[in-house]
Chains A and B, each alone.
Chain A
């Protein structure tokens, strides 16, 4: 089993908390240099999976190898070689930005001089050089996240684990984080991330698995998943307040034959079709008057809706 390019290998991986089974047997193989994603709504089992991969949460059943090592016996050795950016910040708010990175580097057994040099480089990389002497509690959410990412890089990890890297950040801060992660990807760092944002998964991952209720329901590249599970375009129709005999369900019945598939959401109808404009024209021909229409390309959100019947963000 000297497969040196397999960074993470899971077979029939399970995680239980008492009677509750959070992960119900998943198979994953992450290759060197890949950007791999777990996409799914809250409670899908993504974070439980990530904590097992980070070698901080024991495996309940199945096989898990990280860098070819078994987390049950080689936890410290694995953690020495991976980087972890947890969902909840665990930064030391009583220390400065620089000291947070410095002490973390020391935890990995790196010599002081080496750590100081890396800290300077990492501050530069996450654009926090000017904030080096600031206390962590004075940073914005986006800066804290970048600091956490910098901290997870201090041991030059072979795999970087990111659990919901941009949850809770405003759109601008998200784009800065994405940009930094994209650079890491370009440098060949293996990225493994969980997210419930389909745009994040589309932007950052080469390959992803869609998780729902502890199981993997689909696997592939963002484009191949969309091609496989959705149509090229989606026509979104909004109608006014539903009237009796004219509910969304009733309207859906009237247009069902115009699209490959129709989804009824609380506020709109989604018509899955190869040509959205054409479909909307046909809707109008039938005398239906939506108050607003939108044609867009299919996204991973649509894939998820198709596979689970639910939206990613409730």
Chain B
């Protein structure tokens, strides 16, 4: 992936992005004029957004609007796609994450990700959760690792269901349990930001409700960005909402304001179901 830095960090900081003027919360992730290209085709156009600390920000928009692509800019998962190129500035705590001397491994330890389809490793439940802390050398001994595994599973609301079968394969769990296992796995490395790419789209309503409850609890400790197809879900779990359309950020603001009093006509049309 090529990184084109056409704006310096200084100019990025001096101009606050529109619609994110919450003085109470620190800004965790901030992007300025981010564009994404797949080969010759441009998929995202100059997206600037600020994501506040310890809250849930949801990205909504019709299919193919680029919300997942944009999410992957935050932990540089677009690096793994051939022919994908990102320009603009993405900052995590004021630090440019596309800096050449920044190791992507370090970044991804700080920015965790949960994917659309539950994708546990074909290993035991314990090994699934312990993998991140283990490769990052976060624990000194087995006891510490055990503690992390148990606390991560507890926070993901899965521990009670699996405590007797930690040595069973994670792939043997139900879909909803698998997704909670993936969340436990992601939070075991104690990331600062947790990215969720339509985490409930493969789940039934009951499993979805459990995950949504979990997201609400996790926001006390993590900065969460969630991509969702469901406007109801965005309304239920998020405090901030950003609406994307055709690769452009149309509107961003408090969730309540977006859903009750959108400023843009396109947002209004989308949330009232006139297109999408």
Do A and B bind?
no
